[in-house]
Amino acid sequence: MRLDGKVAIVTGGSRGLGRAVALRLAEERAVVAIVYASDRASADETRREIEARGGKAQAYRCDVANPDETARVVKAVNAELGQVDVLVNNAGIIRDALAASIRDEDFDAVINTHLKGAFNFIKHCYFGFIRQRSGSIINISSVSGLLGSAGQANYAAAKAGLVGLTKTVARELAERHIRCNAVAPGIIGTDMTSHMVDDPTRLEPIPMRRLGKPEEIASLVAFLASDESSYITGEVIRVDGGMAM
């Protein structure tokens, strides 16, 4: 298996896209740290499914926007599971509104979760990666960060920020054989987007005329986490059915 023995942190790993990523990395025989914000039941369900398939996982509660909590979780993962080899920054929330109507607290919450949360985990894994002179960081951005998205100024800004963060960290760490890439999903079929399936107009911007599957994102993440992508860094790879081409 491509990730046999490696330790992977997946933030927002209890459900949706993060759950699919956690399951796929475990399928590749990574030991998975499932980071969740509040839904312990879903995190435990994901952990149990990984274990039922013969894998190993552990769940960790964390407010990713809090640097002290992220430091605690990274330290615990290193001590309990082993040195982190793969970091997938997937945690996110949505607080949609037109730019003139977004409440300050909603703007800050989205930026802090998506962008500051990714920065916090990168910062606290940074020197561990340097010491072992290897590692793969995968930031889950979005086509919204590339194209903009009406009613999502906070979300689009956070996802665009992840692109800049990805390229900067990739430049800082490339000489140490540590890679940092971003994945930019389009509209992915999760609980949050299930209503779109019955509304053909929502699929019109997608040349392939369908929603993406969480597993299609997870497959790319598994590739970027593995040594098969050892000469890829600083990239933003779209998985969007052609939306942003």
pLDDT in tens, 63-91: 999 999 999 999 999 999 999 999 999 99
Are the C-beta atoms of residues 185 and 239 closer than 8 Å to each other? yes
Where in the chain does DSSP place strands (E)? 7-11, 31-36, 57-61, 86-89, 135-140, 178-185, 236-239
pLDDT in tens, 100-139: 999 999 999 999 999 999 999 999 999 999 999 999 999 9
Residue 226 has pLDDT above 90, yes or no: yes
Are the C-beta atoms of residues 3 and 29 closer than 8 Å to each other? yes
What is the model's pLDDT at position 196? 61
pLDDT in tens, 142-189: 999 999 999 999 999 999 999 999 999 999 999 999 999 999 999 999
On whether residue 33 sits in a domain, the answer given is yes
On whether residue 244 sits in a domain, the answer given is no
Residue 13 has pLDDT above 70, yes or no: yes
Q: Which of 60, 126, 155, 231 is catalytic?
A: 155
- Who's near 152: CB < 8 A, 6+ residues apart? 94, 96, 144
Looking at residue 234, which CATH number applies to its domain?
Answer: 3.40.50.720
Residue 200 has pLDDT above 80, yes or no: no
Does 155 qualify as catalytic in the annotation? yes
Distance CA 205, CA 223 (A): 27
On whether residue 207 sits in a domain, the answer given is yes
Q: Which of 60-64, 171-175, 198-202, 219-223 has the lowest mean pLDDT?
A: 198-202
On whether residue 2 sits in a domain, the answer given is no
What is the model's pLDDT at position 240? 97
Residue 197 has pLDDT above 70, yes or no: no
On whether residue 87 sits in a domain, the answer given is yes
Task: Give the DSSP H/E element, type plus range, for residue 186.
Answer: none
What is the model's pLDDT at position 192? 66
Residue 3 has pLDDT above 70, yes or no: yes
For the stretch 215-236, what's the b/e string if a residue is b when 16 or more beta carbons lie within 10 angstroms of its beta carbon? eebbebbbbbbbeebeeebbbb
Distance CA 162, CA 109 (A): 15
What is the model's pLDDT at position 202? 80
Provide the domain limits for residue 21. 7-239
Whose CA is closest to 149, among 94, 190, 112, 198?
Answer: 94
What is the model's pLDDT at position 198? 62
Residue 195 has pLDDT above 70, yes or no: no
pLDDT in tens, 45-64: 999 999 999 999 999 999 99
Distance CA 169, CA 126 (A): 9
- CB atoms inside a 10 Å sphere around CB 39: 14
What is the model's pLDDT at position 194? 65
Question: Quick one: tokens of 221?
Answer: 């993440």
On whether residue 245 sits in a domain, the answer given is no
Number of structural domains (the chain) is 1
On whether residue 117 sits in a domain, the answer given is yes
What is the model's pLDDT at position 90? 98
- pLDDT over 70 percentage in the chain: 97
On whether residue 130 sits in a domain, the answer given is yes
Q: What does the radius of gyration of the chain's CA atoms come to, in whole angstroms?
A: 17
Q: Which residue has the higher pLDDT, 202 or 218?
A: 218
